[in-house]
Amino acid sequence: MPGSWIGILLIASLGLIGSCSAAAAAAAAVEYDSSAVIINGQRKIILSGSIHYPRSTVEMWSDLIQKAKEGGLDTIETYIFWNAHERRRREYNFTGNLDFVKFFQKVQEAGLYGILRIGPYACAEWNYGGFPVWLHNIPEIKFRTDNEIFKNEMQTFTTKIVNMAKEAKLFASQGGPIILAQIENEYGNVMGPYGEAGKSYVQWCAQMAVAQNIGVPWIMCQQSDAPSSVINTCNGFYCDTFTPNSPKSPKMWTENWTGWYKKWGQKDPHRTAEDLAFSVARFFQYNGVLQNYYMYYGGTNFGRTSGGPFIATSYDYDAPLDEYGNLNQPKWGHLKNLHAALKLGEKILTNSTVKTTKYSDGWVELTTYTSNIDGERLCFLSNTKMDGLDVDLQQDGKYFVPAWSVSILQDCNKETYNTAKVNVQTSLIVKKLHENDTPLKLSWEWAPEPTKAPLHGQGGFKATQLLEQKAATYDESDYLWYMTSVDNNGTASKNVTLRVKYSGQFLHAFVNGKEIGSQHGYTFTFEKPALLKPGTNIISLLSATVGLQNYGEFFDEGPEGIAGGPVELIDSGNTTTDLSSNEWSYKVGLNGEGGRFYDPTSGRAKWVSGNLRVGRAMTWYKTTFQAPSGTEPVVVDLQGMGKGHAWVNGNSLGRFWPILTADPNGCDGKCDYRGQYKEGKCLSNCGNPTQRWYHVPRSFLNNGSNTLILFEEIGGNPSDVSFQITATETICGNTYEGTTLELSCNGGRRIISDIQYASFGDPQGSSCGSFQRGSVEASRSFSAVEKACMGKESCSINVSKATFGVEDSFGVDNNRLVVQAVCT
Ligand code: GAL
C-alpha cells in the first residue's frame, strides 16, 4: 500500500552509494533512502526533464537547459545513442551535437544535475533503438540476452562512455553533475520470451554496471526483478501506484510521457497541461521522490536518426518546450508553478510521517505529510472523479476540488496550487514570414538521380539470394537496389504479374527501366502487371527503409527490405516462376548520396536550371535563399513535396514526407483533461500533411546566401517551398483573483502590440478565441490591462479588485481576469 512505509524506513534504510574519495573538492555523495535522494547530505526530491543532445544543435543546448531551469527543473536526463557514436565498429564520433560530455558540462554550468541513461539500448523512437547495424551483422550474436558476443560489445561501449564521463569528471562523485546512471531500458516489458537467459542477462547487466564503479547509483527502468544493487524505476503516463522492489529504494519515475511521438501518416498527439500536472502531483502525493518528463524538449530527428518504422522527423512530443525550443504554453508555465509548490514542501516531503484519509466515497484522498523534524505539514488533496467535489477539512478549511485534480495545501490549510486551475498564459505559435521579409519565389535547379546503372541491372555486388536489407546496407543508406534479369524465350512480349513479398518500408518496382508501381507499409505483398519483352528483361527493385524498428521483443531480428522474398513472376496461364534464387545484383544507396549531391560544395551533381522538372520521382532539387530576419526559429515549409530528404548548407534536416496526410477523422477539437490519458486521446491535424514544416536550426544558416537541397523520391513540386519563422502571435491569460497574471511574448523578441480582449469578472470561455463577457465585468478591465502591458515584452497584473477599481462586493466569489493580446 503506497504511503504506509515511508516514515518507518526512513532512518533504517539509509544506503551509502556514493564515495568522495580522491575526487575534486566539490565531489558530492549521492545516497538515497525510501523518501529522498540525498546529495551531500541534503534530502531532495528531484524534478528532471529529458533533452536528447542529438535532437537539437550545440548552439541550442544552453537555451534549452536554461528554459528547463526556469521551468523549475533541477535535473536534465538523456540517453546515449550508440549507433550515432559508433556507426562503424570501433570508429567513434563524439563531435558536434554528439558531444555528450559538453552537453553535461552545460547542464552543470546551469547549476543542474544530470541523469545518464547509457542503455546502450535506448528505444526512444530512435533508429534501431540506438543499436548499430554492424552489431546485428556479427555472426551468432543475439541482442539483449545471455549471449557472450553481445555482452562483450555492450560492455565495451558502456565502459567507453563511463570512461569518457569519468575523464571529464562528470559523475557527482567526482564533482560533476551526474547523479544517476541507467543500464538497459525497459527490458522487463519484453523479457518473457527471452526465458531464463533473459533473467540471467538482467543480473549480468546490473553486475557489469555496478563494476564500472561510478560512485553514483545505477537504475533500471520497468525492471521489477532488478537486483538490489540497482534501483528499479517506473515509466508511463501515471506512476502513482508504482512501488519499487526494495523498501530501501526511493520511488522514481524515469519517464512521464508529456505527450506522444508522431508517425508518418498519423495525427498530432497532445496531452493536456492539467492531466500532466495531475499525474505529477499524484506521484508526489504517494511518496514520489524523482520524476522525469519524457520529453521536456523532444526536438528533431535529423539525418536518418528517426526510429520506426515510420517515426516522423519532428519529435516535438507536445513537450513543455516545442520542437524549436519555444515555450509550449500553458504546459511549461503550469508545470513551473507545480514545481515551485512542490519545492516549497521539499523539506517536509523528504522527511516525514505520511497518512492518507479518504472522503466522498473514496474519490477524494487527503495525504498529510508531517515533518519528523518540526511537525510542519504539507497536504495533497486529490479528486479522481470526473466531477468536482466539496470537502470539509474541519479546522483546515473547506475546499472545492475540481474534477480529476490535485490541490497542494501549504501547512495543510492553504491551497498553493491545483492541477486543474491553469493560471498561466496560453501562447499560439504560428509559422509565418518575418515582418521585415518580402514574399519570394525561390528559383530552382534540378538534377535527376543517376539511375541508369541500376535500371540496367548493374550493381556493386551479387548474391544468389534476396538479402535482408540491414545485412546488405549496414544502414549506410535508406536505399537498396535489388536487380536481376529474366529471359523471355518467346518471340512475343508477355504479360505477367510481378509479385514481391516485402518486409518494409517503401518499394519501387521497375521492369526494363520503367516504374510499374510503388507501395509502402510494414509487410505486404506487392503485385503489379508488367510486360516482358522478348529476350532479356531487367527487374530493378528499389527498397527504402523509413527508420529501423526500435521496440519490442527481438525487434532487432525483424527483417527489412525484400529479405528472402519470394519475388515471383506469374504468367497468364498462372504458372509461377520464383526468382528468389536468381543471381541478384545489389547497389547500396543512391548515386547522389555517393556523389554528395546534398553538399553544395561537392560539385558532383549536374544541376539544370530553367524548365523546372516537377512530379518526377528520383530527382534532386537545389535553391539558394536568404535566412529569414530576426532570431526566431526557422522552418522550411515543404508543402507540395512528396517524400525524400532535405539539407540546408549540407546539414540534414531529416526525411520529409508532406504528401502523406493524417486520417481526416478523429479530431473533434475537444480534449477533456479529465480521466486517464492514453496516446490517441487528444488528436489534431486531421486530414493535413503529417509534417509540412521542418526545423532549420539557426546555426545551419549564414548571413549571406544559403543552399537548400532536396532529394525527391516519389515526385513533388518545389514551387511553393518557403522559409518561415515560428513566432508567438497571440497570447491569452486566464487567472483567478488573488494571483498574478503574467503575460510574455516569449523570449523578448516581440512586444505586446494590441489587447484584443480583457475582462475581469465572470467571463466565459477558457482558451484563446473563446472569451466572452459574463454577467459582470469591471469597467476598467481593458484600460488596466492596456496600461500594464501595451508596448512591453512581458507584463504582470495583480488580479485583485483594487487593480480594477471595483468595490469589495463586486462580482462573484471566484472572479477571474481573461486577456487576449497580440505580439508583434
Ligand atoms: C518507452 C521507452 C522510451 C520511448 C517511450 C515512448 O517505452 O523507454 O525510450 O520509446 O517509450 O516515447
Specify if 267 maps to a domain: no
Specify if 306 maps to a domain: yes
Is the CB of residue 251 less than 8 Å from the CB of residue 289?
Answer: yes
Ligand 1 site, residue 706, Cβ cutoff 6 A: no
Ligand 1 site, residue 235, Cβ cutoff 6 A: yes
Ligand 1 site, residue 253, Cβ cutoff 6 A: no
Q: Which of 379, 309, 321, 319 is nearest to 348 (CA)?
A: 379
How far apart are alpha carbons 84 and 63 in whole angstroms? 23
Residue 37's beta-bridge partner residues? 32, 44
Based on the fold, state whether residues 356 and 437 are members of the same structural domain.
no
Based on the fold, state whether residues 649 and 751 are members of the same structural domain.
no
Specify if 343 maps to a domain: no
255: annotated active-site residue = yes
Which residue among 77, 125, 153, 186 is the active-site one?
A: 186
Based on the fold, state whether residues 49 and 179 are members of the same structural domain.
yes
Q: Show the low-confidence residues of the chain (pLDDT under 50).
A: 1-25
Centre of ligand 1 to C-alpha 82, Å, is 16
Based on the fold, state whether residues 567 and 611 are members of the same structural domain.
no
Is the CB of residue 745 less than 8 Å from the CB of residue 732?
Answer: no
The three cell numbers of residue 269 are 498527439
DSSP 521-587: ESSEEEEEEEEEPSEEEEEEEEEE-SS-B--STTGGG---TTTT--EEEEETT--EEE-TTS-EEEE
How far apart are alpha carbons 545 and 472 in whole angstroms? 12
Specify if 792 maps to a domain: yes
Type and span of the H or E element at 783: helix 781-789
Residues 6+ apart with CB under 8 A from 452: none
Residue 260, Cβ density class (10 Å: 0-12 exposed, 13-18 middle, ≥19 buried):
buried
Tell the residue nearest (CA) to atom 9 of ligand 1. 124
Based on the fold, state whether residues 435 and 487 are members of the same structural domain.
no
Ligand 1 site, residue 412, Cβ cutoff 6 A: no
Q: What is the pLDDT of residue 675?
A: 97
167: annotated active-site residue = no
How far apart are alpha carbons 395 and 398 in whole angstroms? 9
Centre of ligand 1 to C-alpha 301, Å, is 15
Ligand 1 site, residue 187, Cβ cutoff 6 A: no
Q: What is the pLDDT of residue 769?
A: 84
Tell the residue nearest (CA) to atom 3 of ligand 1. 124
Residues 6+ apart with CB under 8 A from 611: none
SS3 371: strand
Based on the fold, state whether residues 382 and 524 are members of the same structural domain.
no
Give the residue carrying C-alpha cell 527489412.
560
How far apart are alpha carbons 52 and 58 in whole angstroms? 11
Q: What is the pLDDT of residue 602?
A: 83
Residue 711's beta-bridge partner residues? 620, 645
Q: How far is CA 553 from CA 54, 296, 459, 473, in A?
A: 26, 27, 35, 23
How far apart are alpha carbons 188 and 167 in whole angstroms? 32
Looking at 295, 318, 341, the residue that finishes a domain is: 318
Looking at 691, 725, 759, the residue that finishes a domain is: 725
Based on the fold, state whether residues 364 and 505 are members of the same structural domain.
no
Centre of ligand 1 to C-alpha 307, Å, is 11
Strands 722-736 and 576-578: unpaired
How far apart are alpha carbons 466 and 585 in whole angstroms? 10
Return the DSSP state at 88. B
Looking at 542, 558, 589, the residue that finishes a domain is: 589
Centre of ligand 1 to C-alpha 294, Å, is 8
Centre of ligand 1 to C-alpha 690, Å, is 21
Based on the fold, state whether residues 566 and 688 are members of the same structural domain.
no
Is the CB of residue 619 less than 8 Å from the CB of residue 449?
Answer: yes
Centre of ligand 1 to C-alpha 249, Å, is 23
CATH number of the domain to which 647 belongs: 2.60.120.260
Specify if 610 maps to a domain: yes
Centre of ligand 1 to C-alpha 235, Å, is 8
B/e letters for 416-428, b = 16+ CB within 10 Å, e = fewer, are bbbbbbbbbbbbb
Is the CB of residue 4 less than 8 Å from the CB of residue 28?
Answer: no
Q: What is the pLDDT of residue 16?
A: 39
Closest atom of ligand 1 to 317 CA is: 12
Q: Which of 343, 378, 344, 385 is nearest to 362 (CA)?
A: 385
Centre of ligand 1 to C-alpha 123, Å, is 6
Find how far residue 466's CA is from the centre of its chain. 35
Structural domain range at position 660: 430-448+594-725
Q: What is the pTM (predicted TM-score) of this model?
A: 0.95
Specify if 224 maps to a domain: yes
Based on the fold, state whether residues 364 and 403 are members of the same structural domain.
yes
Closest atom of ligand 1 to 185 CA is: 8
Closest atom of ligand 1 to 295 CA is: 12
Which residue among 86, 125, 255, 632 is the active-site one?
A: 255
How far apart are alpha carbons 604 and 505 in whole angstroms? 29
Specify if 45 maps to a domain: yes
SS3 461: strand
Based on the fold, state whether residues 497 and 608 are members of the same structural domain.
no
Spatial strand order of the sheet with 524-532 comes to 524-532, 494-502, 567-571, 576-578
Mutate which of 78, 125, 297 to test ligand 1's pocket (most atoms within 8 Å of Cβ)? 125
Based on the fold, state whether residues 743 and 708 are members of the same structural domain.
no
Is the CB of residue 306 less than 8 Å from the CB of residue 653?
Answer: no
Give the residue carrying C-alpha cell 531464463.
196
How far apart are alpha carbons 517 and 525 in whole angstroms? 12
Centre of ligand 1 to C-alpha 185, Å, is 9
Is the CB of residue 37 less than 8 Å from the CB of residue 46?
Answer: yes
Q: Which of 334, 353, 229, 224 is nearest to 279 (CA)?
A: 334
Q: How far is CA 363 from CA 3, 243, 287, 383, in A?
A: 17, 21, 19, 5
How far apart are alpha carbons 162 and 156 in whole angstroms? 10
Q: Which amino acid is at 609?
A: S
Specify if 139 maps to a domain: yes
Q: Which of 228, 181, 213 is nearest to 80 (CA)?
A: 181
Q: Which amino acid is at 486?
A: V
Closest atom of ligand 1 to 189 CA is: 7
Ligand 1 site, residue 123, Cβ cutoff 6 A: yes
Q: How far is CA 615 from CA 533, 606, 713, in A?
A: 27, 19, 10
Q: Which amino acid is at 218?
A: W
Ligand 1 site, residue 318, Cβ cutoff 6 A: no
Mutate which of 182, 271, 294 to test ligand 1's pocket (most atoms within 8 Å of Cβ)? 294
Based on the fold, state whether residues 223 and 366 are members of the same structural domain.
no
Q: What is the pLDDT of residue 739?
A: 87
Type and span of the H or E element at 619: strand 619-626
* Domain total in the chain: 5
Ligand 1 site, residue 261, Cβ cutoff 6 A: yes
Mutate which of 50, 551, 678 to test ligand 1's pocket (most atoms within 8 Å of Cβ)? 551
CATH number of the domain to which 776 belongs: 2.60.120.740
How far apart are alpha carbons 130 and 124 in whole angstroms? 8
Give the residue carrying C-alpha cell 459574463.
774
Length of the chain equals: 824
